[in-house]
Each structure stands twice: as structure tokens, then as C-alpha cells.
Amino acid sequence: MISTFDLTLLGSLVSAGGLLFLRHDKRSYLNWSSLGMAKRPCELSAESRQQHARSTALAAARWLTVGVLTLFIAYVHGAEEGYLFGPWSDVMFHVVFVSTCWATTAFRMKQAAERTSAVLLTHPSPSQASS
């Protein structure tokens, strides 16, 4: 069984990732320079911005839900002793694992937003086509 320490650490880091997504949603859309993934600014329509805000909020809700469930499992079923590798090795493992998952989620959201903006640029809206 995994120790309470490991489960608490993992749940805390996952919850922090969810809070980062919530914080990212409050800032400007597609501000990816903070993640080191900026290529060029992307112009998005109002519909694309709403889609991006919705996907960011869903990602934050998923991360927060998993984090809270992990903390609950740590409280209820965590083992008293035992580490995966050792106390500091466990901390490093969880930090690397969670940050990799967070960066992957952010990268996938960025790709989806770019795909959506590319589709909107290539296909004019019905109001633009009639004029």
C-alpha cells in the first residue's frame, strides 16, 4: 500500500496544478510564453476564446477533482509507513511526474486552440460569406 506521505504529496501537487489552470483561465487567452511554448501570438474569435476558456475550466475541474480524491484516499486508506523510493526521491518523482502531466495537458490545449483558430481562418463564417 502507498504511504499517506506519498498520497498527500501527490494530491497536493495535482490540486496545485488544478489551481494553476484556474489561474491561467483568468489571465489572457493563449499566454503560453509563461510555459516557454510561445511561437507567435494567435488571434482568436470570441467563439474560440469561449471554447478555450471552457476547456481550461474543464481541465482545472478534472485536476482539482483528482487532487481532492487523492487527498481523501490518503486520509482514509494511506499506509503509516513506506515510501516508493525514499522521502526525497518520492518528492522529486511526484514533482517531475505531475509537472510533466500538467505540461502535456497545457500543450494539448494549445494545439486544440491553434487547430480551432486555423479552421476559423480557413472557413469564413456565414455572415462573411454573404457580404
Q: How many CA atoms lie within 13 A of 8 on its CB side?
A: 10
pLDDT, position 14? 92
pLDDT (tens digit, 9 = 90+) per residue, 12-55? 999 998 888 888 766 544 454 555 544 444 555 677 777 778 88
How far is it between the farthest Cα atoms of the chain?
71
**For residue 86, what is its C-alpha cell?**
525514499
pLDDT (tens digit, 9 = 90+) per residue, 64-117? 999 999 888 888 877 777 777 877 888 888 899 998 998 888 888 878 777 776
Model confidence, pTM: 0.68
pLDDT, position 130? 53
| Residue pair 43/110 in contact by the 8 Å Cβ criterion | no
pLDDT, position 42? 54
pLDDT, position 12? 92
Contacts of 52 (CB under 8 A, 6+ apart): 29, 30, 44, 109, 113, 116
